[in-house]
Structure 1
Amino acid sequence: MNSELIWVLALLAAAVVMFATGKIRMDAIALLVIVAFVLSGTLTVGEAFSGFSDPNVILIGALFIIGEGLVRTGVATRMGAWLIQMAGSSEIKMLVLLMLTVAGLGAFMSSTGVVAIFIPVVLSVSMRMKIPPSRLMMPLSFAGLISGMMTLVATPPNLVINSELVREGLQGFSFFSVTPIGLTVLALGIGYMLVMRFALKGQKNEEGKEQWKRRTFRELIKEYRLTGRARRLAIRPGSPLVGLRLDDLRLRESYGANVIGLERWRRFRKVIVNATGGTELRARDVLLIDMSASDVDLREFCGEHMLEPMVLRGEYFSDQAMDVGMAEVSMVPESALLGQTLRDIGFRSRYGLNIVGIKRSGEALEGTLIDESLQIGDILLVVGNWKQIRQLGLRNRDFVVLNLPVEEQDASPAHTQAPHAIFSLALMVALMLTDEVPNAIAAIIACLLMGKFRCIDAVSAWKSVHWPSIILIVGMMPFALALQKTGGVDLIVRGLLELGGGYGPHLMLVCLFVLCASIGLFISNTATAVLMAPIALAAAKSMGVSPYPFAMVVAMAASAAFMTPVSSPVNTLVLGPGNYRFSDFVKIGVPFTAIVMVVCVLLIPALFPF
């Protein structure tokens, strides 16, 4: 063992210790590694920074953006709503559908992002079904990890392994090469969790119960005494209201009625249009009207204006949460608007929002609100577009947004573009399947289309990229190169061959899986794949067998980070909401990791013969 190799192994050990302690950011550790390699002369500047030129780094960044597009357009959120609807009150059905849905979405977007989306869904379901969140949170995280085994682009380790094959002059894996393994593991995972969920009791955390409690639309409506005040009225063709602006109607002055929303047909579906004074009414529009201050006979009012009353269910606002926002706001003490009425302010015309309730001294006011003078301490309940609600707090010096309801998390700023997001994703997958264009180019095309269709904007695209992960990958790639240059790869391969090489390639797969899983306890699965990829290919070459089963077992082992809550960000995300202990992951994760290893050792050689 030469001095350079000792230095590289010492640096690797130091990096692992720093990763494990968590006192320094992972991306900072990766950059320190680059600096250390260059200053020590182990690698040249070009070699140390070679990761930045790797196409897979670009691909991973593009996949973050595509995942954000699916979130902003509400595709992922609608899947959650569908999940609740389909599962009903069955815990078994919920667990099965949850794992299937998360694994399916995670096959095309960040598993961490998918799990983050579904955490509030699971909390809501747990509260409704009156079961501990711990019974569903770990199945959620396991499904997120298994999603990395579903497609080639599902997780960075798959792309790292594929990149190493291409770098060695071999043909890479196809888009669905990993799918048979992932489906098998998913089926076993669902069965395993159906049995083991009863062992997931979590910790009792009475103090933390309220941290997940946010008021809903329904609770705000009850609190501000809005129940029974709203009406849905459809405008019939030929109505005298057609072609008029809301301000021209003077409904408040004449009838004490306030239009707070407008449903309109667009592209074969109804959408909510923000009701402002300049909104021009059309035939078939549906007015959402607050008639709390009106003493006009509803039947007479509808007959006079050719309006048709429509059903308004209690869940209306919750069902329209993607379009209609609701929030409590308060005025700042220095506001020049204090003492003025809503009519004086021209609140709807100025801010594009409607005030449907005012709470003063803890009590909701009743009657006509438009002529009520605003006082210090008043809390206003506003209804309108989510974007304008947020702007009211961010860009206005008169108001502070106090509370956003639970439904705010379901709001998707570009939900009308959901079909375009699905089209962009489908096109990317199709291009990757044809192999006519490189995977990175296919992903960039999908990103550009999402931008063109306004599924995502430049700011949200930039923020969606998890830059620490990108830097981590780039910073760990030099380790593989340094180990190759200094003979470290050959040394590790010789050790593996002495341990299991004489017993055939199947035992070597076991050794590689165990080594990957062990390293993954301390560093990220991406860094594990970067380190283990050249070792796996070198081991296959030394044994004179195909490199593909060896490469595939490393990819699968890197995703099998089930054993501790710090093995993957996915596990860490559910640790708090599930009230888990460290030992819970060990108790459930270690046996399942062993199951996944057995599946890989038996199934991978059948799919990719030695």
Structure 2
Amino acid sequence: MSPAIKCLILLAVVALFFITELIPLAITATAGAIACGLLGLLPAKQVFSGLSNSTVVLFAGMFVVGAAMFYTGLAQSIGNKVVHLCGTGENSLMFGLMIVGTALSSVLSNTGTAACLLPVALGICSAAKIPASRQLMPLAFACGWGGIITMVGTPPNIIATGALTAAGLPSFGFFEFAWIGIPVSIAGMLYMMFIGKHLLPKVELDADQDIEQEIEATSTDSKKQIISGAILIAVVLVMALDIKGVTLEMAAIIGALICVLTGCLTEKQAYASIDWVTIFLFAGMMPVSTAMDKTGAGKLIAEWTVGLMGGDPSPMVVTAVLFALSCILTQFMSNTASAALLCPIGVAIAKQLNADPKAVIMAIAVAASCAFATPVGTPPNTLVLGPGGYKFMDYVKAGTGLVIVCFVVSLIVIPIVWPFFPGK
């Protein structure tokens, strides 16, 4: 049996356990990584490589920076002000959070944006007496679709641009992605406001009570609130400015260290604020994603799907199929890997049809960011899993319809903005 087939079988087993939750998600992900080593899909030394991934470090740092806003009482203060401004209605709060998440993630890391807004959202939910499960998933989704708006909003956009350049073709402009990113964002918000909200669970967590108790013990020192807020703003600005030599994870960890050193929270509270389920879930799936790429399992799926289109498919069919394929892959593997795998294939097929590859490549990039149907498809989804008390199927229920909406909007808008045969 080839390594690619072994990897596909492993992916199917992992997907089954994710859906059924017969064992905890973090254990499934970690076991999947170990299986990659035992099956020889990856070298043994790479089995736990996910724990050293920079995104894991970013998670840990932003958990601490976010927790400082809770322990100083700043998140609650912001929550109370937002509730006073928007009222206590679920719809107005959901809309406000999605607008902010979309705007920030268009120029910042969607992971960093979600991590920064998570404590604020929790503070708002606590003040409004609304279960966090009603707000955190829409926030995570907004951070996902917001990244589509600019070239730097999400890695697949950069990969798409690079694929065109590598093929000797004109690349996308910085804000060119907004032609599809903004319509997808608007459609996504409308979907969540009118349909998606009915598919969200109402989870009353014991953790909510713990948060409320912590709010009454938490400091109300205005100086510490200002410090914690200033640290958060500084971290966001550093991430936005992309200062040479200062990575996202470095900014997050420096912010976390300053939070502890300035007394915004204690060392013990900093350790307790890290959601280890999120850490191990993401770290466990990283080696599985790598194995899909290295063994050729992902490429096998792509070639098989392309083969089903026949010898001379229309550009619209190619665009639709590659969008669907990219979207399916990104639910379980890195969106960066999905885009990197499919973009060269998309360019080759478009050239064979004498069509402009831009539409096909844009579809692949957008689809790679539509990782709404699983908690492991994109870091923002994983980030809200624990705090929202979500189960795997909660993402499937609320996210599948959103994926379909994005698919329809993309197939309408993309061929109009980037014609298959320009000038004809």
Q: TM-score, normalised by structure 2?
A: 0.68
Q: For residues 355-381 of structure 1, give each alpha carbon's deviation from its aligned partner in whole angstroms, at most 9, with x where no partner exists.
A: xxxxxxxxxxxxxxxxxxxxxxxxxxx
Counterpart position of 1:393: none
Counterpart position of 1:536: 342
CA distance in 1, matches of 2:61, 2:277: 15
CA distance in 2, matches of 1:66, 1:470: 16
Per-residue deviation at 1:558?
0.9
Within the candidate set 209, 217, 225, 1:418 is matched to 225
Q: For residues 385-428 of structure 1, give each alpha carbon's deviation from its aligned partner in whole angstroms, at most 9, with x where no partner exists.
A: xxxxxxxxxxxxxxxxxxx9967546643753232233323333
Higher helix proportion, which one? 2
CA distance in 2, matches of 1:569, 1:421: 21
CA distance in 2, matches of 1:405, 1:24: 27
Per-residue deviation at 1:81?
0.7
CA distance in 2, matches of 1:474, 1:405: 27
CA distance in 1, matches of 2:221, 2:179: 33
| Unaligned stretches of 5+ residues in structure 1 | 125-132, 215-403, 577-581
Within the candidate set 302, 324, 334, 1:514 is matched to 324
Per-residue deviation at 1:10?
1.5
Whether 1:597 and 2:404 are equivalent positions in the alignment is no
CA distance in 2, matches of 1:585, 1:489: 22
- Given that 1:473 and 1:527 are in contact with CA atoms closer than 8 Å, whether structure 2 keeps it comes out as no
One-letter amino acid of the counterpart of residue 371, structure 2? A
Per-residue deviation at 1:97?
3.4
CA distance in 1, matches of 2:317, 2:382: 26
Q: For residues 22-52 of structure 1, give each alpha carbon's deviation from its aligned partner in whole angstroms, at most 9, with x where no partner exists.
A: 1222222233233323233332123334334
CA distance in 1, matches of 2:180, 2:228: 28
CA distance in 1, matches of 2:333, 2:296: 19
Within the candidate set 552, 574, 580, 2:365 is matched to 552
CA distance in 2, matches of 1:468, 1:90: 30
One-letter amino acid of the counterpart of residue 535, structure 1? L
Q: For residues 491-527 of structure 1, give each alpha carbon's deviation from its aligned partner in whole angstroms, at most 9, with x where no partner exists.
A: 122123234595566655543543465567xxxx574
Per-residue deviation at 1:440?
2.5
- Given that 1:143 and 1:186 are in contact with CA atoms closer than 8 Å, whether structure 2 keeps it comes out as no
CA distance in 2, matches of 1:584, 1:527: 16
- Given that 1:146 and 1:185 are in contact with CA atoms closer than 8 Å, whether structure 2 keeps it comes out as no
CA distance in 2, matches of 1:35, 1:75: 41
One-letter amino acid of the counterpart of residue 276, structure 2? W
Counterpart position of 2:144: 148
| Unaligned stretches of 5+ residues in structure 2 | 167-171, 352-356, 376-380
Give the direction of change, closer, same or farther, for the CA distance of 1:573–1:427 in structure 2 (3 Å limit).
closer
- Given that 1:64 and 1:109 are in contact with CA atoms closer than 8 Å, whether structure 2 keeps it comes out as no
CA distance in 1, matches of 2:238, 2:174: 10
Counterpart position of 2:169: none
Counterpart position of 2:47: 48
Counterpart position of 1:61: 60
One-letter amino acid of the counterpart of residue 281, structure 2? L
State the secondary structure of the residue aligned to 1:150.
Answer: helix
State the secondary structure of the residue aligned to 2:219.
Answer: coil
CA distance in 1, matches of 2:255, 2:418: 31
- Which has the higher mean CA deviation after the structures are superposed, 188-197 or 473-482? 188-197
CA distance in 2, matches of 1:60, 1:176: 28
- Given that 1:200 and 1:584 are in contact with CA atoms closer than 8 Å, whether structure 2 keeps it comes out as no
Q: For residues 244-286 of structure 1, give each alpha carbon's deviation from its aligned partner in whole angstroms, at most 9, with x where no partner exists.
A: xxxxxxxxxxxxxxxxxxxxxxxxxxxxxxxxxxxxxxxxxxx
- Which has the higher mean CA deviation after the structures are superposed, 460-469 or 405-414? 405-414
Within the candidate set 261, 264, 273, 1:455 is matched to 264
- Report the identity percentage: 24
Per-residue deviation at 1:537?
4.0
Whether 1:484 and 2:293 are equivalent positions in the alignment is yes
Counterpart position of 1:385: none
Per-residue deviation at 1:560?
5.8
One-letter amino acid of the counterpart of residue 138, structure 2? F
Higher strand proportion, which one? 1
Give the direction of change, closer, same or farther, for the CA distance of 1:184–1:426 in structure 2 (3 Å limit).
farther
- Given that 2:188 and 2:405 are in contact with CA atoms closer than 8 Å, whether structure 1 keeps it comes out as no
State the secondary structure of the residue aligned to 2:370.
Answer: helix
State the secondary structure of the residue aligned to 2:291.
Answer: helix
CA distance in 2, matches of 1:607, 1:504: 18
- Given that 2:50 and 2:56 are in contact with CA atoms closer than 8 Å, whether structure 1 keeps it comes out as yes
Counterpart position of 1:120: 126
- Given that 2:362 and 2:414 are in contact with CA atoms closer than 8 Å, whether structure 1 keeps it comes out as yes
- Which has the higher mean CA deviation after the structures are superposed, 174-183 or 81-90? 174-183
Aligned ranges for residues 218-367 of structure 1 at < 5 Å? none
CA distance in 2, matches of 1:46, 1:451: 33
Give the direction of change, closer, same or farther, for the CA distance of 1:444–1:488 in structure 2 (3 Å limit).
same
Q: For residues 103-138 of structure 1, give each alpha carbon's deviation from its aligned partner in whole angstroms, at most 9, with x where no partner exists.
A: 6788624376555444434436xxxxxxxx8xx964
Question: What's the Cα RMSD here?
Answer: 5.0
State the secondary structure of the residue aligned to 2:22.
Answer: coil
Within the candidate set 235, 241, 244, 1:428 is matched to 235
CA distance in 1, matches of 2:190, 2:251: 36
- Given that 2:29 and 2:285 are in contact with CA atoms closer than 8 Å, whether structure 1 keeps it comes out as yes
One-letter amino acid of the counterpart of residue 144, structure 2? G
Q: TM-score, normalised by structure 1?
A: 0.50
Give the direction of change, closer, same or farther, for the CA distance of 1:196–1:57 in structure 2 (3 Å limit).
closer
One-letter amino acid of the counterpart of residue 143, structure 2? S
CA distance in 1, matches of 2:388, 2:9: 34
One-letter amino acid of the counterpart of residue 264, structure 2? C
Q: For residues 557-610 of structure 1, give each alpha carbon's deviation from its aligned partner in whole angstroms, at most 9, with x where no partner exists.
A: 114669xxxx8785897689xxxxx89984x75544322233445667899999
Give the direction of change, closer, same or farther, for the CA distance of 1:92–1:510 in structure 2 (3 Å limit).
same
* Count of matched residue positions in the alignment of Structure 1 and Structure 2: 385
Give the direction of change, closer, same or farther, for the CA distance of 1:468–1:446 in structure 2 (3 Å limit).
same
CA distance in 2, matches of 1:23, 1:37: 20
One-letter amino acid of the counterpart of residue 470, structure 1? I
Per-residue deviation at 1:459?
2.2
Per-residue deviation at 1:541?
5.5
- Given that 1:68 and 1:461 are in contact with CA atoms closer than 8 Å, whether structure 2 keeps it comes out as yes
